[in-house]
Structure 1
Amino acid sequence: MQKLKRNLQWAACAATCAISTAVLVACGGGGGGGDTATQAPATPAPGANTASVVDGTITGFGSVVIDGQRFDDSLVKVAFANNPDAQTAGTLGDLHTGMRVHGELKDGLLQNLVVNFALVGTVGAVDAAGGTLTVFGQTIKTTATGQLPTVFDGFNALGQLTAGDLVKVSGTVASDGSITATRIERKAKDSTELFRVSGAVQDLDTTAKTFTLTGNSSVTVNYANAKLQPTGVVIEKGKLVSVVATSAPAASGGKNVLTASVVEVKARKLPDSSDSTVGGPVTDFQSLANLRIGDVVVDASTATLKDGTTPADVANGAQALAHGTVKDGAMKADWVKVFKNDTAIKALLVGQVTDFVSLGNFTLRGTVVDASAARFTKGATTDVAAGAWVQVTGQLTPAGVKATEIAVQPPPADKPQRLAGAITAVNADTKTFTLLGTTVKWTDTTKISPDGKTLASLAAGLGVAVEGSYSEATGVFTATSVTVVSTPGVVKTIGFSGVAFNVTDTSLQVGSFTVQITPNTQLQPAGTQLADLVNGSRLSIKATVSGTGTAVTLTAIAIELQKPEKDDAGNEYVYLGGLVNDFVSAGNFKVGSQKVDASGSSVKFIDGDATKLANGLKVEIKGSVKDGVLVARQVHFMPG
């Protein structure tokens, strides 16, 4: 992963960016149908060879949305600063809402995107009623409502966390030393974790090379053998730092000491630039001339207050966006806008449905959607199924999106595509049927399989997989082949991945799914026991779906425990799940927006082979990232 380039300038904001409300436009983790004519455009490129930086919170994908502004991710390389001294390459599928990121753009296109965490450690105490927890003596504040609710991953309520749980926190540090969390992930312990605390330096002892953090006198940081980042920086009282350690704090000399391996001074996180933008909550507010947005000190005394923002709106806790000149880590703002807390965030998701269980529980572009009370502006409830292209608008919540409106859309025009689902209507006279809300036409040259099936036998409720392409001019998908895959009444099977929580001997939860475990459930890899499935484990699950509406039961056929594994270079393998799109060959296709190469001779294929790869198929890929491309080691074809 290349290091971030310096002396960058901010790209001009799209005219269509939301002002009084932040707009979530979701992408990532779906098929190639997300970029339709109804989708809001990405931030347009400014003049030629113009570079820019952005520092803020991911609020959606479409391609990537940072503090309500959408950026094209077709060229981006993703990295995680788990260790500031050695970033780890990731994929677009690793990005999630609530993550704090530092991005580099050129001509309006994201080039590099680095994910930063404020804290990694074990839970000391939880105050579910107060919405807080403590980790290594540091207070973490969560928000259930407002412009940027705290996203939970690996649990769905603060009360499910217990002392000793390992958590990874994204957010910003307030003046009192607390962290306002935008995302909290529960992780399984595997003895390879790097711990982290962040805050302002106090009680600095340059002789003993120790300090504490504001609001956290219970932990003393020893930086005697730490590498200081960036090179040449000096630790000073009041400086905002992020401390990384290979082991948790331990008692030493009557103190609880965290032995630092790296200390990153954050006050100069943004390079000097005449044109930069930062986003995040307002903290340390003294006046418009003296406040902090995210991790950056801002002087907004002469700034224009945009889009209805008033001086009273610029207050601690408000979500804000500021633009101006950065010098020595501080910004002189020329404009500021606040996303009003009394204005609901409108979520806009456009893409292809995956992991469909019911109308109240499916995934769109990696985001869980509850559309049980949504109004259909185009199409009907029967059109929403795995593989359907839809546009969802609604309300952002800590768990995903509560949809208010859905419009069923056709697949992308004039591209080879594969549609799979149940036929809802047939018209033999016009040689058409309806599938996933799309009119499909067959001709005398359309092939049908398996042997013995005829086009005349097509009927409502029949499960089919159709290959062909959609014409925007005619509004019809012309089928080159139709494969009958099931008949009404056959048990439905889906496959999905995620972080487990509420694990018992008979059930567990992954995201919005509750999965039943039976004596017939296969545990993989060989030798895996039920005791190995713990809260925070990453799992890949194949399950049957039974029941309808809200009374749906998922029963696990197989559960694969995804243990950390390393490639030849010593990097942990990454996992990416979603629908294949833009397929050219096994060495050139995408899953969501992530480029994939599965052409290697040693690639392991599960439940299929390289010849099975095609647009619309659901896959889970394990591999390594090189130059922004996910080089597959394993390709698993997943149901549903």
Structure 2
Amino acid sequence: MKQLKQHLQWGLCALSCALSAAVLVACGGGAAAGDTASQSPATAPPSAGITGVVNGTITGFGSVVINGVRYDDSLAKVAFSNQPDVQTAATLGDLHTGMQVQATLKDGALQNLLVNFALLGTIGAVDTTAGTLTVFGQTIKITTTGQLPTVFEGFSALSQLALGDLVKVSGTVASDGSITATRIERRLKDGTELFRISGAVQGLDTTAKTFGLTGNTTVTVDYSKAKVLPDGAVIENGKPVSVVSANAPAASGGKTVLVASAVEVRAKKLPDSGDTTVGGPISDFQSLASLRVGDVVVDASAATLKDGTVAGDIVNGAQALAHGTLSSGAMKADWIKVLKNDTAIKALLVGQITDYVSLANFTLRGTAVDGSAATFSKGSAADLGTGAWVTVTGQLTSSGVKATDIAVQPPPADKPQHLAGAITAVDATAKTFTVLGTTVQWSDTTKIAPDGKSLANLAAGVTVSVEGSYSAASGVFTATSVTVVNTTGVSKTIGFSGVAFNVTSTSLQIGSYTVQITPNTQLQPTGTKLADLVNGSRLSIRATVSGSAGNVTLTALAIELEKPEQDASGNDYVYLGGLIGDFNSAADFKVGSQKVDASGSTVKFIDGDASKLANGAKVEIKGSVKDGVLIAVQVHFMPG
């Protein structure tokens, strides 16, 4: 598989450090660097012209959160380091909790964000009791508690994984060679995968050009045909490396050998910078003057200890953040802090609901939320639905966020907006009704559709679609048009997509949603069979929602198997789903924070046309990324 090749301008870090920060933030961008998720987004940005580097774990979405700090993502360009010497362009929608990243900053805003990972391989053993996987002789440790549990995609429990399954792992390599995973994705085998293992070199034989990895007694690496990166790097015992191969390890000469196509030496991977932040577990602690945070050597002898940190907290295994000047791969820290359970920030999500099934099962920016035990500090459960703006606080889990508090928020002010949902209250005298927790004002000039409907006869439970804008000064949404969608008693239809797992002939799961398959379910494209739906498949689902709030059933009307496709340059198409916002034209709008251009003359529209593009429309877009913009080749309008 060809990939978009760009020389790395700001270095690679094949194994970014993992951080136990329980923070999730999803919003439309604009948060300042240095603004932790517990602080107001109004925190002052750094001085103009400062350029920095941040290295660590994604702990939020929208305004991207790295190491618990929010960064403006309005100018961010995203890429994946699937190979050590190339980048594959991606969207902001491709970012997920637990991913390991390296990013450059200018004036506090993200410029380039590179996603790295530690391992890609097939499972050789699963130990559900110990909470571990073995992949190519390397032990993967799962964290189910704490501030950042291991995030799962394509499965919800280790017991669902099988020998031979392909997994992609983000995390940190410990001194014993094991990987503490921050994220594990089950992938579909398609023959294009590039396998990867990581760890510290041991048993180096420069004559035979082979070595092993600490803690891995199974696999021997043959680097005789490998490209050693970065240029000028030298493989030495004790140095951490990431090894990439087009083929899985195989028996050779009485050994299990991985023939490397590239060996990436991780020393001195970060560029020199006077404004660098790193996060991860402390290791190799000798003194404050000599320790590691994640993969970076740190001298904290002159550093300020922040946020209640004392010298006794700085020990091996503690999760930490350090900031300072990086030179030749080593940091002189000006401050360091250890994240402790009693001072940890709670999970926080701020944004617009994209998929709503029930209070116990809805989605914000790809993060599953269970609000069944939450209290409402503003609004009520009746105000929730696809398109509602909310703030959610709670606890992070391996599958999403368990909400403890939900606050329903008004839509962004003074710009065209779209509201769609069930009416919860009507005041015919005042000419107002409430939908998604927002008071809507109509007048004699407000258009209504279909013909024959009267706004004065609207009632609670009726589903409407409203166009207009919200005023922060008056606190009301002034409607320019109202469309009556249906009345009470009509079943709801929703659409969503993702990676399938627990696939049987009668049901499957995508994320937190369980979907029933019936003989009436349409399989697409034409010729698709049930046997084609397997664990790891990417599917687009259209389903009805039935049942009560505590016992909701999703029944698939149609399931589309999204097969891997490539653009004219040989790059895999990317997919982006969500609600349209900041709509200016078909050539200029956003889905989440991602810029999109769907103005091309050959763009394929499904279940609508270009005239349907508008704020609030729910879409799934297929296309290619160019200069940080998703250039659409297909726009599929999805039911809400």
TM range (shorter): over 0.9
Aligned residues of 2:62 and 2:593 also touching (Cα < 8 A) = no
Q: Which residue of 2 aligns with 1:86?
A: 86
After superposition, where does 1:198-237 map in structure 2 within 5 Å? 198-237=198-237
Q: What CA deviation, in whole Å up to 9, does each residue of 1:469-515 have, x standing for no partner?
A: 01111111010001111110111011111111111111111111111
SS at match of 2:82: coil
Q: Which residue of 1 aligns with 2:190?
A: 190
Aligned residues of 2:8 and 2:86 also touching (Cα < 8 A) = no
Aligned residues of 2:27 and 2:62 also touching (Cα < 8 A) = yes
What's the Cα RMSD here?
Answer: 2.1
How far apart are residue 109 of structure 1 and its match? 0.8
More displaced, 121-130 or 567-576? Answer: 121-130
Q: Find out whether 1:593 has 2:593 as its counterpart.
A: yes
- Match for 2:585: what amino acid? S
Aligned residues of 1:62 and 1:71 also touching (Cα < 8 A) = no
Given the two structures, how large is their TM-score scaled by the length of structure 2?
A: 0.94
More displaced, 246-255 or 331-340? Answer: 331-340
- Match for 1:515: what amino acid? V
Distance 1:283 1:555 in 2: 50
Q: What CA deviation, in whole Å up to 9, does each residue of 1:299-358 have, x standing for no partner?
A: 334433211112332233322101123233222323211111355540111111121110
How far apart are residue 43 of structure 1 and its match? 6.8
After superposition, where does 1:244-323 map in structure 2 within 5 Å? 244-323=244-323
Aligned residues of 1:278 and 1:293 also touching (Cα < 8 A) = yes
- Match for 1:170: what amino acid? S
Distance 1:85 1:353 in 2: 37
- Match for 1:486: what amino acid? N
SS at match of 1:602: coil
Q: Which residue of 1 aligns with 2:240?
A: 240
Aligned residues of 1:7 and 1:273 also touching (Cα < 8 A) = no
Distance 1:343 1:134 in 2: 34
Distance 1:90 1:7, change over 3 A: closer
How far apart are residue 20 of structure 1 and its match? 12
More displaced, 182-191 or 344-353? Answer: 344-353
Q: Find out whether 1:109 has 2:109 as its counterpart.
A: yes
Aligned residues of 1:580 and 1:591 also touching (Cα < 8 A) = yes
More displaced, 298-307 or 173-182? Answer: 298-307
Q: Which residue of 1 aligns with 2:623?
A: 623
Q: Find out whether 1:365 has 2:365 as its counterpart.
A: yes
Q: Which residue of 1 aligns with 2:171?
A: 171
Aligned residues of 1:43 and 1:71 also touching (Cα < 8 A) = no
Distance 1:275 1:460, change over 3 A: closer
Q: Which residue of 1 aligns with 2:15?
A: none
Distance 1:498 1:550 in 2: 24
Q: Which residue of 2 aligns with 1:32?
A: none
Distance 1:633 1:402 in 2: 36
Aligned residues of 2:20 and 2:319 also touching (Cα < 8 A) = no
How far apart are residue 625 of structure 1 and its match? 0.3
- Match for 1:219: what amino acid? V
Distance 1:326 1:332 in 2: 6
After superposition, where does 1:98-137 map in structure 2 within 5 Å? 98-137=98-137
How far apart are residue 535 of structure 1 and its match? 1.1
Q: Which residue of 2 aligns with 1:386?
A: 386
Q: What CA deviation, in whole Å up to 9, does each residue of 1:344-395 have, x standing for no partner?
A: 5401111111211100100012211111111111111100111111111111
Q: What CA deviation, in whole Å up to 9, does each residue of 1:268-289 have, x standing for no partner?
A: 2112233321101223344434
Distance 2:101 2:325 in 1: 19
SS at match of 1:382: helix
Distance 1:341 1:38, change over 3 A: closer
- Match for 1:208: what amino acid? A
Distance 1:616 1:2 in 2: 35
Aligned residues of 1:42 and 1:62 also touching (Cα < 8 A) = no
Distance 1:133 1:6 in 2: 33
Distance 2:554 2:256 in 1: 46
Distance 2:627 2:246 in 1: 28
Q: Which residue of 2 aligns with 1:15?
A: none
More displaced, 43-52 or 92-101? Answer: 43-52
After superposition, where does 1:1-20 map in structure 2 within 5 Å? 3-6=7-10
SS at match of 2:456: helix
Q: Which residue of 1 aligns with 2:355?
A: 355
Distance 1:607 1:483 in 2: 18
Aligned residues of 1:580 and 1:618 also touching (Cα < 8 A) = yes
SS at match of 1:520: coil
- Match for 1:186: what amino acid? R
SS at match of 1:547: strand
SS at match of 1:87: strand
More displaced, 512-521 or 321-330? Answer: 321-330
- Match for 2:75: what amino acid? L
How far apart are residue 44 of structure 1 and its match? 4.5
Aligned residues of 1:393 and 1:406 also touching (Cα < 8 A) = yes
Q: Which residue of 1 aligns with 2:464?
A: 464
Q: What CA deviation, in whole Å up to 9, does each residue of 1:31-79 have, x standing for no partner?
A: xxxx9x9983177532232210010000112400001000000001000
After superposition, where does 1:512-551 map in structure 2 within 5 Å? 512-551=512-551
Q: Which residue of 1 aligns with 2:405?
A: 405
Q: Which residue of 1 aligns with 2:27?
A: 27
Q: Which residue of 1 aligns with 2:32?
A: none
Distance 2:586 2:278 in 1: 40
Aligned residues of 2:543 and 2:554 also touching (Cα < 8 A) = yes
How far apart are residue 297 of structure 1 and its match? 2.4
Distance 1:4 1:193 in 2: 21
Q: Which residue of 2 aligns with 1:474?
A: 474
Unpaired runs of 5+ residues, structure 1, are 9-18, 30-34
- Match for 1:220: what amino acid? T
Aligned residues of 2:122 and 2:166 also touching (Cα < 8 A) = yes
Aligned residues of 2:298 and 2:330 also touching (Cα < 8 A) = yes
After superposition, where does 1:29-48 map in structure 2 within 5 Å? 40-41=40-41, 44-48=44-48
Aligned length in residues? 624
Q: What CA deviation, in whole Å up to 9, does each residue of 1:595-621 have, x standing for no partner?
A: 000000111000000000110011000
Distance 1:576 1:596 in 2: 10
Distance 1:455 1:97, change over 3 A: same
SS at match of 1:176: coil
SS at match of 2:86: coil
Distance 1:452 1:591 in 2: 34
- Match for 1:379: what amino acid? G
Unpaired runs of 5+ residues, structure 2, are 13-18, 30-34
Aligned residues of 1:419 and 1:467 also touching (Cα < 8 A) = yes
Q: Which residue of 1 aligns with 2:162?
A: 162
Distance 1:600 1:84 in 2: 33
Distance 1:136 1:43 in 2: 46
- Match for 2:504: what amino acid? T
Q: What CA deviation, in whole Å up to 9, does each residue of 1:578-635 have, x standing for no partner?
A: 0000001111100000000000011100000000011001100000000000000100
Aligned residues of 1:318 and 1:341 also touching (Cα < 8 A) = no
Distance 2:575 2:489 in 1: 33
Q: What CA deviation, in whole Å up to 9, does each residue of 1:83-123 have, x standing for no partner?
A: 12221000000000000000011111100000000000001
Distance 1:312 1:524 in 2: 60
Distance 1:20 1:181, change over 3 A: closer
Distance 1:186 1:608 in 2: 33
Q: Find out whether 1:632 has 2:632 as its counterpart.
A: yes
Distance 2:117 2:507 in 1: 31
Q: Which residue of 2 aligns with 1:13?
A: none
Q: What CA deviation, in whole Å up to 9, does each residue of 1:139-164 have, x standing for no partner?
A: 11111111221101111111211110
Q: Find out whether 1:74 has 2:78 as its counterpart.
A: no
Q: Which residue of 2 aligns with 1:12?
A: none
- Match for 2:168: what amino acid? K
Distance 1:81 1:279 in 2: 19
- Match for 1:545: what amino acid? V
Q: Which runs of 4+ in 1 moved over 6 A?
A: none
Given the two structures, how large is their TM-score scaled by the length of structure 1?
A: 0.94
More displaced, 385-394 or 292-301? Answer: 292-301
